[in-house]
Amino acid sequence: MAKILVVDDEVGIRELLSEILRDEGHDVQLAENAAAARAARGAGRPDLVLLDIWMPDTDGVSLLKEWAASGQLTMPVVMMSGHATIDTAVEATKIGAVGFLEKPIGMQKLLGAVKQALDNVRRPVAGLSLAAFPRSTALKDLKKRLDQVAAGSSALLLRSAPGGIVELAARSLLASGRAWIDLAADSNPITLEALEAAVGGVLYVEELTRLKGLQQKNLLFAAERLEKSKLHLVVGTEADAATLAAHGWDEALLARIFPGRLGLPALVELRDDIPDIASHLLVQLVEAEQVALRRLSVAAQNALRQHHWPGGYAELRAAIKSLALSALTDEIEAEDVYRLITPANGGNVTPGGFSAEMLELPLREAREMFERIYFEYHLNADGSNMTRLAEKTGLERTHLYRKLKDLGLR
């Protein structure tokens, strides 16, 4: 039978739903809040989640948004509440919930909703978007600007430095369950029927200058019909006006097609966000079952943050997949990262074994990076035993706790 995760802060409701569902032969896992639900979701893939809306730490709708933004909403979710409004239920449905149960929940209503939800086909993993990074000031502000521009224009031209985050930005405009069409991936004429079938979706081009003749015609054809099909057209380019002209694009034509324009940062400008981006990319690969369950150590995240990524977002994504496929343990370590991004001839590593990039940092940053690697190593080696860690490092426990907190280590 199905593997069902029940998330509710009321112990009585958890036990009641668990008893009913287990009597029906289901494998039931319980979570008392959003934090426990995240852990349970990260440890496995439930076939269904019954999710309470009102919880003390994070409400169910916010958790639903979080899963949708990070590509983890691959299972059907049924919301539960005794006080929710119709607007809340509609909002949850738009995000991706497949049903709603009003408390108190009767057995027949519960079993009916569970059966209906389990009949839903498992969703494909959604692409990563800016919505997955609510703690990043830079990415949060970029999403606000993107939403503002998109509200006034169905067609957007994203000016991107080499290695920018065009796809990450474009997917932020894609609603749950709507079509994503890459115009550069097809060399056949696009039809009116195809546009009508993609209603509410996003037409996407990563780099305008890569479009061939027929693909350029497809873009122009679609651009004239965006409003009718309620579509967004999002196109990126790092080319200047002369380069665009050499590829057949007149600036006046582009100005008419793309009244909405926005500049995007290169990945190197988002250095502090790289660990979070990398972790989300890894989650997506795991969810898509392209790699085994893996996680990035703090030291590995920091090593990724220090790299310059000349190939930008695409290079980072490819690196994360390579690291996950080649890792010998569940945790990807800093050494794995350096082994991948350092030239085979060792030209980027000093005799002491540190990357040349690390030694090019200001002393304070280099010291902080080394301390993270150092404490991460000893925490793993000693099973996070603070007594042994204090003895090995020669630090008084109060000072040790403060140091670990400053470095963002648990």
* Residue 332 pLDDT greater than 90, yes or no: yes
Q: What is the pLDDT of residues 185-240, one digit of tens each?
A: 888 999 999 999 999 999 999 999 999 999 999 999 999 999 988 999 999 999 88
Question: According to CATH, what is the number of the domain 3-118?
Answer: 3.40.50.2300
Residue 267 sits at φ, ψ, to 5 deg, of -60, -35
CATH 3.40.50.2300 region(s) of the chain?
A: 3-118
pLDDT digits (tens, 9 = 90+) for 98-110: 999 988 898 999 9
What's this model's pTM, rounded to 2 decimal places? 0.68
Pick the CATH number of 130-265 from 3.40.50.970, 3.40.50.300, 1.20.140.10, 3.20.19.10: 3.40.50.300
Q: What is the pLDDT of residue 85?
A: 74
Q: What is the pLDDT of residue 48?
A: 94
> For the segment 63-111, what is each residue's pLDDT rounded down to a tens digit?
998 888 887 888 999 999 887 677 888 888 888 899 999 888 989 999 9
pLDDT at 345 over 70: no
Q: Strand, helix or coil at 282?
A: helix
Contacts of 260 (CB under 8 A, 6+ apart): 149, 150, 152, 153, 155, 156, 157
CATH number of 272-406: 1.10.8.60
Residue 347 has pLDDT above 60, yes or no: no
Residues composing the chain = 410
Query: What are the φ/ψ torsions at residue 139 (nearest 5 degrees)?
Result: -75, -35
Instruction: Determine the pLDDT at residue 268.
Output: 84
Position 276 scores a pLDDT of 94
Asked whether residue 351 carries a pLDDT value surpassing 50, the answer given is no
- Where in the sequence of the chain do the CATH 3.40.50.300 domains occur? 130-265
126-179 pLDDT, tens per residue?
788 998 898 899 999 999 999 999 999 999 999 987 778 999 999 999 987 789
Task: Count the helices and strands in the chain (H runs, E runs).
Answer: 20, 12
Residue ranges, comma separated, of all CATH 1.10.8.60 domains in the chain are 272-406
The amino acid sitting at 357 is E
Distance from C-alpha of 259 to C-alpha of 152, rounded to nearest angstrom: 9
332: left (phi over 0), alpha (psi -120 to 50) or beta: beta
The number of C-alpha atoms within 13 Å of 88 and in the hemisphere containing its C-beta is 19
